[in-house]
A and B are shown apart, each in its own frame.
Chain A
Amino acid sequence: MADTTVLTKEPYVPQDEDFKLKGNIEDILVDTNFASQSFWKEVVARFRKKKSAVLGLIFVLVITFFAFIGPGMNQYTYSGQDLSQKNLAPRIPIIEYTGFFDGHENIATTKGTKTVNLYFENKLPDVFYWFGSDNFGRDIWTRTWSGAQVSLIIAVAAAIIDMIIGMSYGLISGYFGGKVDMVMQRILEIANGIPRLVIVTLLLLVFKPGMLTIIVALMLTEWVGMSRIARAEMLKLKEQEFVLASRTLGAGSMHIIFSEVLPNIIGPIITQVMFSIPTAIFTEAFLSFVGLGIPVPRCSLGSLISEGFNSFTTHPYQIIPPIVVMALLMLSFNLVADGLREALDPKLKEM
């Protein structure tokens, strides 16, 4: 403006027209560079730009859908045994005519490979196990999806509980600092110093084994990481002006922690939760392998894999469905978590 005034020789006299509204209000409000969008809208937009994350989300939703609908899609139940129909290879109506999923399997015996179709040998022309049946004659399709359901419930519940506990712990420890922080961090160090396996095993031995115990055990292995992140974020934020402002206005500590700071760190927290879900699924699988998983005949993806593990070289089809579902679930959750992290943290947006 200053430059223009210098260039004009005569002083500019404002006209009435200059004070009239141009009338194109829509144009003015649409600012293509700095559109007024809410934070979450922005997050969604950024997330949607990342194809791998969207793909991951789709897989998560599809698997979740089947985990709740799949077990009811045929007449079998997850625990119903039929020893006369055990170890049957996958067989799907119609598709069987293509030569795939027609119930045949190649068994690698010590005397060479042999091909058998137990559906014909056992005279079961009208029996179909889409993913095959296990060594008790239980339907693997039903078990895989009900296992996925159990795994998802356990993992999500554990992740949410560990978020609540770990987050509160980290926020409180970080906010108060000084002696409180010192004591709380020592406690955390002690909890972290004891091998997880020892704590988890003991917990599962002392309490009645079951879903709830596993959730608590998983929570115990994850809350430390969550509290670290929350504490670090709190240390960053607590010196900022808005915290000072609240405090000056007489806000209590708890109000500041949970109403002022918490909303500002929700991004990293959600990312951490997304990462801890696959970790929980995985830890549960490990517990199953050590014999501390969900009590039989209930199943989780982990217990299905460790059950099928013994037939790995004999009847590989028994272990493939739970492994594939688990791998997809892990991969998808990781992709979603990666996408979320970038979407929530604009710093990472541009290189």
Chain B
Amino acid sequence: MKKKLLSVMLASVLAMSMIGCGSSAVSGVTETETTESTDSAQSTDAAQSADATSAEPAGEGSGEDLNVMLETPVESLDPQQATDGTSFEVIADYTDGLMQMDADGQAVNAIAESVDISDDGLTYTFHLRADANWSNGDPVTANDFVFAWQRAVDPEIASEYSYMLSDIGQIVNAQDVIDGAKDKSELGVTAVDDKTLEVKLNVPVSYFLSLMYFPTFYPVNEAFYESVGDTFATSPETTLSNGAFVLDDYQPAATAIHLTKNENYYDAAKVKLAGLNYQVIQDSQQALMSYQNGDLDTTLVNGEQVDQVKDDPAFAAIGAGYMWYISPNIKEVKELDNLNIRYAITMALNREAITTDVLKDGSAPTYTSVPMDFAAGPDGSDFSADQTMFSDYCKYDAAAAADYWAKGLEELGITELNLTMIHDADDAPIKVAQVVKEQLETTLPGLTVDLQQMPKKERVERMQEGEFEIALTRWGPDYADPMTYLGMWVTNNSNNYGFWSNAEYDKIIDECTTGETAMDPAARWAALYDAEKIVMEEAVIFPLYTQCNAELISTSVSGIEFHPVALNRVYKNAVKN
């Protein structure tokens, strides 16, 4: 998360290209009509609608339910309280924000019919469409947004994602309201009339429109909310829809969720599915068997099951956005303060082996500190498309690693080093940690890596407190700009787990957010590369891979849109034959 102001001034909305795991990993993916684009460097504007439209045999809606597997239960359907991808996905099924995500992850108008942006980029005026209604018949008004956004920053509600309005969205007074210094009515968002919403920002935020499809910004009908009180969004009766589907079967932490097509949706003609049928299945083998039985149309596949499904045309690797990396505790562990030791460790990591031999889900080895396929630059190309850019500082090279290791040990005057690596007690991290241990111990003589697994909550706490030596961790992008990663390693950032500090780096990041450079997209882009170079040169983190999920998507289904940021799956245009 960023602490610094963002004032990125770009001429156009940043486009988010689809993540293209297929290009780097599993073959035999392309036959499916899903919208994932296999070429990561693809020009977003030209190709954006191609997939979506070709995948849409006009008028052939069979009127069937789409059966979807969920790995974890929905945590909350309250748009301002939800924090996890699963919840976001379901909320977005039945709620439209001002903007929506298209197949390529670009923001397109939804409830907003048009947007006026002031010349200084500080005022956004949204004009809402007249035919947008809630499922109880009420029209969707500007006040619904004002109410919802005020909830998001209300200290009473204590929304975990309030920083989307303050740090990232830069809405006037958001931070003060969150801190309790100002009343929520002073938030810089006003309903000029029923259908006009005006938002004021502290500084220009280039990607502001793309935030509008983030569920934290979704509207809530005030009168309805008042009528249901605390039970809001805990059952179909206490939920209102203004989107493509209507929720009709749900309870908190349910294992089965059902939604039916919303006939009163303004865009109902485009919705081909009769409904969505979510089934939470935590065991991957039950999931695969259910898929084979025809009870599911799409399911997640475990790395171990890939042998069973790799020849299936329904098999696809879908980008999940997360970058996994190892964070050394540079400040507390003096051995890790030695650059040669850090080089030795990062060069002893065989990332190819981790992704192809162990994970097997299509995850892509990563040699940059910003993962691939989520942030496109001024010229439309992916920020991290060129993985060889900094690979000299981290690429697997057993001989070089051993050399650095020997040099480092000599400098430190030791012959042995014992490191404890903490990691999450989940399937993938446990596997990766074991390979990492083996790779490091075989390549670097005298190194012992002890593994310590724990629930994620505890691991995060340990990292925040600095009570660790090395840690296997991951980071998912909040918005489509490299800054969501590079901002982390600024001095004193709460997610700078290595407690690394570099004045030059801080200066570049500062320049890119509030300084001169921020005004010039091309120069900013170049400066961000400079910053990334410092991170890689100093081996502040040891990047591992960009996560992909191996999925089976029945060949009779097309048009599901996958995204690495915000909404992982969008079904509005999905078709099932």
Chain A residues proximal to chain B, CB less than 8 Å: 79-81, 83, 86-87, 107-111, 135-136, 205, 208-209, 291-292, 295-297, 309-315
Contact = CB atoms under 8 A, between A and B. Distances in A.
A106 to B, nearest CB: 11
B452 A295 contact: yes
Given A205-B455, A291-B425, A313-B289, A110 B434 contact: no
Contacts of A108: 308
B561 to A, nearest CB: 24
A291 B453 contact: yes
B311 interface: yes
Contacts, number: 87
Sorted from nearest, which 6 A-B pairs have the closest CB atoms? A291-B425, A83-B357, A311-B304, A310-B304, A81-B438, A110-B312
A87 B312 CA distance: 20
Contacts of A135: 303-304, 358, 431
Interface string B535-559: 0000000000000000010000000
Nearest to B433: A296
B435 interface: yes
Contacts of A297: 434, 437-438, 451
Contact of B285 (A205, A208, A295, A313): A313
B358 A136 contact: yes
Interface string B432-451: 01110110000000000011
B353 A109 contact: no
Contacts of A205: 454-455, 458
Contact of B305 (A208, A295, A296, A313): A313
Interface in B299-335: 302-305, 307-312, 314
Contacts of A83: 353, 357-358, 435
A109 B455 contact: no
Contacts of A86: 357
A83 B434 CA distance: 12
28 contacts: A81-B438, A83-B353, A83-B357, A83-B435, A87-B307, A107-B307, A109-B311, A110-B291, A110-B309, A110-B312, A111-B312, A135-B431, A136-B434, A209-B452, A209-B453, A291-B453, A295-B453, A296-B430, A296-B451, A297-B437, A297-B438, A309-B285, A310-B284, A310-B302, A310-B304, A310-B427, A313-B308, A314-B307
B244 interface: no
A79 B439 CA distance: 12
Interface of B: 284-285, 288-289, 291-292, 302-305, 307-312, 314, 353, 357-358, 425-427, 430-431, 433-435, 437-438, 450-455, 458, 552
Given A83-B353, A295-B451, A314 B434 contact: no
B358 A314 contact: no
B311 A79 contact: no
A68 B289 CA distance: 39
Nearest to B454: A205
Contacts of B435: 81, 83, 136
Contacts of A111: 311-312
A96 B311 CA distance: 29
B425 A315 contact: no
Contacts of B289: 313
Contacts of B291: 110
A182 B312 CA distance: 66
A108 B285 CA distance: 13
A135 B437 CA distance: 15
A271 B292 CA distance: 48
Nearest to A298: B451
Contacts of A80: 438
A309 B310 CA distance: 20
A296 to B, nearest CB: 5
B434 A81 contact: yes
B199 to A, nearest CB: 44
Most chain B beta-carbon contacts within 10 A, residue among A136, A296, A315: A296
Nearest to B457: A205
A310 B428 CA distance: 12
Given A86-B357, A108-B308, A111-B312, 20 more contacts: A80-B438, A109-B310, A110-B312, A110-B552, A135-B303, A136-B434, A205-B454, A209-B454, A291-B453, A295-B451, A296-B430, A296-B453, A297-B437, A297-B438, A297-B451, A311-B304, A313-B288, A313-B289, A314-B305, A314-B308
Nearest to A297: B434
Nearest to B288: A313
A312 B304 CA distance: 9
Contacts of A208: 452
Nearest to A295: B451
A109 B357 contact: no
A317 B284 CA distance: 18
Nearest to A109: B308
A312 B438 CA distance: 25
Contacts of B427: 310
B163 to A, nearest CB: 28
B308 A107 contact: yes
A297 B455 CA distance: 18
A107 B311 CA distance: 12
A33 B217 CA distance: 91
Nearest to B305: A314
Nearest to A134: B304
A296 B307 contact: no
A204 to B, nearest CB: 9
Contacts of B451: 295-297
Nearest to A135: B304
B479 to A, nearest CB: 32
B26 to A, nearest CB: 15
Given A81-B438, A297-B434, A314 B552 contact: no
A303 to B, nearest CB: 10
A309 B308 CA distance: 15
Most buried by B among A107, A135, A208, A313: A313
Contacts of B308: 107-110, 313-314
B22 to A, nearest CB: 19
A337 to B, nearest CB: 33
A122 to B, nearest CB: 12
A79 B451 CA distance: 13
Nearest to A83: B357
Contacts of B455: 205, 291
Nearest to A312: B285
Kindly name the residue among B302, B305, B435, B454 whose own CB sees the greatest number of chain A CB atoms within 10 A: B305
A136 B303 CA distance: 12
A104 B547 CA distance: 32
Nearest to A201: B455
B307 A109 contact: yes
B363 to A, nearest CB: 15
A5 B161 CA distance: 109
A314 B311 contact: no
Nearest to B310: A109
A152 B94 CA distance: 54
Contacts of A314: 304-305, 307-308
Contacts of B357: 83, 86
Contacts of B454: 205, 209
A79 B438 contact: yes
Interface centre among B426, B434, B450 (most CB of A within 10 A): B434
Nearest to A318: B304
A324 to B, nearest CB: 20
Contacts of A315: 304, 307
A315 B305 CA distance: 9
A312 B286 CA distance: 11
A83 B360 CA distance: 12
Nearest to B423: A296
Nearest to B424: A291
B196 to A, nearest CB: 52
A108 B289 CA distance: 11
B434 to A, nearest CB: 5
B348 to A, nearest CB: 14
B291 to A, nearest CB: 8
Contacts of A295: 450-453
A228 B286 CA distance: 41
